[in-house]
Amino acid sequence: MGRLLLLSNGHGEDLSGSLLARALARLGHTVEALPLVGKGQPYRDAGIDLIGSTQEFSTGGLGYTSLRGRMTELIQGQVVYLLRRLLRLLRIGHRYDVVVVVGDVIPVMAAWLCRRPVATYLVAYSSHYEGRLRLPWPCATCLQSRRFHAVFSRDQCTADDLSGQLSREVRFLGNPFMDPVLADAGRLPAARQRLGLLPGSRRPELEQNLGLLLQMIEHLPSELFRQGVLTVDLALVSSLSDRSLRALVQPWGWTLTAEPGGSGLQLQRGPRRIHVRRGAFAAVLHSSNLLVCMAGTAAEQAVGLARPVLQLAGRGPQFTAGFAEAQRRLLGPTVFCAQGEPGETATLEASARLAIDLLERSHSDADLQRQCHQQALQRLGPSGGGARMAQAISDLVQQPL
């Protein structure tokens, strides 16, 4: 068996990388990870050893999306940190049989520089954005190099496009980040209509997003809650404690209380109630008729489960109006967004009206239901992508490189 290094550069990339690393470890390989951005917590959770100490930054690696973000990264030292991580890779790269890249041009270029055989999963790029993918320099040159023995894409459209552009085989085998939610069919208690809220996981953007979601819920008709027509669930990460959540929502007129029967916690304002769900992300996805998303990977997973998605654009650094528009091009026509400036009252009201319409259509519109299932397969692929990709990489280790 071989010794493999996972190289990734972002929260979503770390999640995919950790799932791929665990699948490779199950095949008998020794696997380590070098996350270039953030703490690499998904690798820790998967039991994968990390190279060196890691550090979290407030931009989450997304500073390039704005001038403010770039300045923040410079002030916080993220650029220096990244350079140190890359230098470390160059020093240790010779130890590994294959370097596995999960991400975009930065880890692709870094893997090329370390002069080892490379397999890369281009999870950050898709031809769905513009019809023809324009890879940033020098990504295409690196991918055409003999050092890159396998290239995997995140969808079939991109595989077909890049196979022609690069004059080499690019394969679509599915997406590892879909495997956990497709395998976990856990369900929440039955409800007439269920709305899932996905505020994201990065802080402090998480807190800003949650505020906008609560304001949108206030524009839903109170009769839906009084009559028990609508159940709302909030998928929340553990990094936001109950104490912090209580302090956060209080200025907005919400309170954090125990649910009747003591089965959990809920946010309450008048007749409106939101069930707080920690450790039940997949159950919220599977059980909801509609997901209101302010996140990247979570929205992709919702689409992959054939659920309609309503976006609520925020102020960033990640889930801005520009990011939301790009996400709609990536994920297709079952992702919806109300018009208007992020956070404005008129936009929140329009989002609430659209949510009510989509909840009804999720039950009654057979065309929407059929379209959701078609887009799930076309955009994200079937389950088992992580295992298929791991086997393809394992086959590389077994043959002369």
Q: What is the pLDDT of residue 139?
A: 96
Any domain includes 376: yes
Residue 270 falls inside a structural domain: yes
Residues 95 and 206 in one domain: no
Residue 201, CB-side half-sphere exposure with 13 Å CA sphere: 18
* Residues 282, 296 contacting (CB under 8 angstroms): no
Q: Look-up: residue for tokens 């018009």?
A: 339
Same domain, 236 and 134: no
Question: Could you tell me if 221 and 340 lie in one domain?
Answer: yes
Q: What is the CATH number of the domain that holds 371?
A: 3.40.50.2000
User: Could you tell me if residue 232 is inside a domain?
Assistant: yes
Please state the domain count of the chain.
2
Same domain, 162 and 195: no
pLDDT at 57: 61
The reported pLDDT for the residue numbered 120 is 97
Q: Indicate if 309 and 390 belong to the same structural domain.
A: no
* Range(s) of the domain holding residue 270: 184-380
CA distance 156 to 162: 10
Q: Which of 305, 270, 262, 292 is nearest to 353 (CA)?
A: 292
- Residues 149, 65, single domain; the answer is yes
pLDDT of residue 337: 98
How high is the pLDDT of residue 73? 47
Residue type, 391: Q
- 179 in any annotated domain: no
Strands 148-153 and 272-278: unpaired
Say whether both 282 and 372 belong to one domain. Answer: yes
Start-to-end CA distance of the chain, whole Å, equals: 14
In this prediction the pTM is 0.88
Can you tell me which residue has the tokens 């394969």? 171
Residue 101 lies in a domain: yes
| Nearest CA-CA partner of 276 in 197, 180, 213 | 197
Question: 106: which residues sit within 8 A by CB, 6+ positions away?
Answer: 9, 36, 82
238 and 142 assigned to the same domain: no
Residue 339 lies in a domain: yes
Peptide bond into 317 cis (omega under 30): yes
Q: Are residues 207 and 108 in the same domain?
A: no
Considering the domain architecture, whether residues 141 and 219 belong to the same structural domain is answered as no
Classify residue 363: in a domain, yes or no.
Answer: yes
Distance CA 277, CA 275 (A): 6
Residue 82: which of 63, 95, 67, 98 has the closest Cα? 63
What is the rounded distance in angstroms from the CA atom of residue 142 to the CA atom of residue 144? 5
* pLDDT value at residue 77: 53
Written as tens digits, the pLDDT of the chain (401 aa) is 899 999 999 888 999 999 999 999 999 999 999 999 878 989 999 999 999 877 666 544 444 444 454 444 444 457 788 888 899 999 999 999 999 999 999 999 999 999 999 999 999 999 999 999 999 999 999 999 999 999 999 999 999 999 999 999 999 999 999 999 988 878 899 999 999 999 998 778 999 999 999 999 999 999 999 999 999 999 998 888 999 999 999 999 999 999 987 779 999 999 999 999 998 999 999 999 999 999 989 999 999 999 999 999 998 888 999 999 999 999 999 999 999 999 999 999 999 999 999 999 999 999 999 999 999 999 999 999 999 999 999 999 877 66
pLDDT at 313: 94
Rounded CA gap, 127 and 236, in Å? 31
Tell whether 57 is covered by a domain.
yes
Are 92 and 220 in a shared domain? no
Query: 145 and 203 in one domain?
Result: no
